[in-house]
Chains A and B, each alone.
Chain A
């Protein structure tokens, strides 16, 4: 869910790795970021919505990734996938480090770009 730069890149890489991928975005124009040979399904809709997730095949998914821009949307979408569709592993991009920690406790694999980028910036500035 969330076909921005990160979402589109993750989708195409996972497909190249041989996985079956479906992408959800509420803006059909977002799919322009996908490579032209992307074969996966593209679903236009609100990825937080249970029915939209169902249309994307979420109940049969092994992994759900919430990679949209809003922390709250990502957290909610991931929990809908986990608790209403039974997806065993859910990943969410959460920019706020403290909220990322809250969701980790709730069994959402929260990826926190703020922490990661901070480390990279420090490394670039002071590393060898």
Chain B
């Protein structure tokens, strides 16, 4: 495939590296000489200087025979222009646009850009995936001690629901200090207080016992 990448920054250069490595023909367009030189030194003469939103520059890069266009600059308005010029003037079959500000995703979709990649969204999705579920939120580190105050919200399907605190195997020195009922009312719990779905459980614990505490309260690994 012949692939044109507009924007030779970190994203564009890395895309070029991987596409060249997998045997594609690649051209990178960037206005900054240092970026062009860096890519050419590393990957052979594949980068050209220029404003990739301009019709003439796209023509010189061979946009009319490109199978794929990647708009990878750090500015969304430039990425939109790259894609619209490539599609309207050169009938580029597939355009991929990097979106830097997730707020701009909607207009790219409405204007029919084939594929949009939002780094921010990708990172957020990744974080959500990596987060232990349900999350344990560190509220504060207690002054002059190693203990911290954390909050765990009990998910609807937790196997601990209905159990009294006395039945839970809390880590050593962990102290359940406050329960916020789903209706928002607080309660200082006793050994008989039962875990309920949606309740916020505030507890004091040592940092190294966070995972154990979460497991004890919600049953989730």
Contacts and interface: CB of A to CB of B under 8 A. Distances in A.
B89 interface: yes
Contact of A99 (B76, B81, B104, B106): B81
Interface string B73-112: 0011110110011001100000000000001101100110
Nearest to B85: A102
A12 interface: no
B1 to A, nearest CB: 25
A48 interface: yes
Interface string A80-106: 100110000000000010110011011
Contact of A48 (B53, B54, B77, B85): B77
Mostly, the B contact residues are helix
B10 interface: no
A111 to B, nearest CB: 17
A75 B83 CA distance: 12
B81 A79 contact: no
B55 interface: yes
Q: Which of A51, A71, A106 has the most CB of B within 10 A?
A: A71
A109 to B, nearest CB: 16
Contacts of A72: 53, 75, 77-78, 80-81
Interface in A48-93: 48-51, 70-73, 75-76, 79-80, 83-84
A98 B106 CA distance: 26
B56 interface: yes
B89 A102 contact: yes
Interface of B: 53-56, 75-78, 80-81, 84-85, 88-89, 103-104, 106-107, 110-111
Interface of A: 48-51, 70-73, 75-76, 79-80, 83-84, 96, 98-99, 102-103, 105-106
22 contacts: A48-B77, A48-B104, A49-B103, A50-B106, A50-B107, A51-B103, A70-B77, A72-B75, A72-B78, A72-B80, A75-B80, A75-B81, A79-B111, A80-B107, A83-B107, A84-B107, A84-B110, A96-B53, A99-B53, A99-B54, A102-B55, A102-B89
